[in-house]
Amino acid sequence: MIVKSSAAARARLRDRAVRVPALLLATALLSSRVAAADAPGVRHYVLDPARSSLEFTFLQAGAQNKGRFKSLQVSFDFAPDNLAASHLDVVVEINSLDSGDEERDDTLRSADLLAASKFPQAHFAAAQIARSAAGYEAIGKLTLRGVTRDARIPFTFRTATENGAPVGYMSGKTSLRRLDYGVGQGDWRATDQVPNEVGVSFALRLSAH
């Protein structure tokens, strides 16, 4: 009993320890975003959810399968000639995943895979945008299932004016190793039926604010 309660207390402390810097970070990000939006040439974009998609592909028992996340938030501060003031921030609601099969969706949300009830969001925060041969690269940290790792996500970005309003189209494709983020505990750690490599692709329509 004593052991258990002290473990719980430790967990609470740990939670608080995580939460406080997270709050500071969020504040910092928010203020940097305001600063960025104020920087010359920087435009602030948000997601047009109806015309955007974020998909993932994975092999299941040798066959290619596909799913998507229906709910995400994107904040993109961007100026092609002021990349230093450009940032990308994406939050994905894990529970919004849809692999086209309810039973499989429940399995994907379960504790041994994405653990959606404990880690309801994935977060990609890129404070740095770099030019690459194919377009751009967002360099930052990806947090998935409570694990944060460095990540570089390549993308292309083009702008257009639609109905008199500026919009941006961001798309790209990358892959990640699910086990790097602990997506696959217990029996799911095996990679013979569901390999480690998971493809991620996105085609987002962003509107400028």
Q: Can you tell me which of 62, 133, 161, 163 binds another protein, judged by CB under 8 A?
A: 62
Q: How many CA atoms lie within 13 A of 99 on its CB side?
A: 19
Told to check if 117 binds another protein by CB under 8 A, we report no
Stretch that binds another protein, among 8-16, 96-104, 143-151, 200-208 (CB under 8 A): 96-104
Told to check if 190 binds another protein by CB under 8 A, we report yes
CB of 175 to another protein, least distance (A): 19
Tell me the torsion sign for CA atoms 126, 188, 103, 193: positive
Between CA 92 and CA 145 the distance in angstroms is: 11
Residues in binding contact with another protein, number by CB under 8 A: 20
Told to check if 107 binds another protein by CB under 8 A, we report yes
Between CA 144 and CA 40 the distance in angstroms is: 33
Told to check if 61 binds another protein by CB under 8 A, we report yes
Classify residue 79 by burial, with Cβ atoms within 10 Å: 0-12, 13-18, 19+. middle
Told to check if 60 binds another protein by CB under 8 A, we report yes
Told to check if 186 binds another protein by CB under 8 A, we report yes
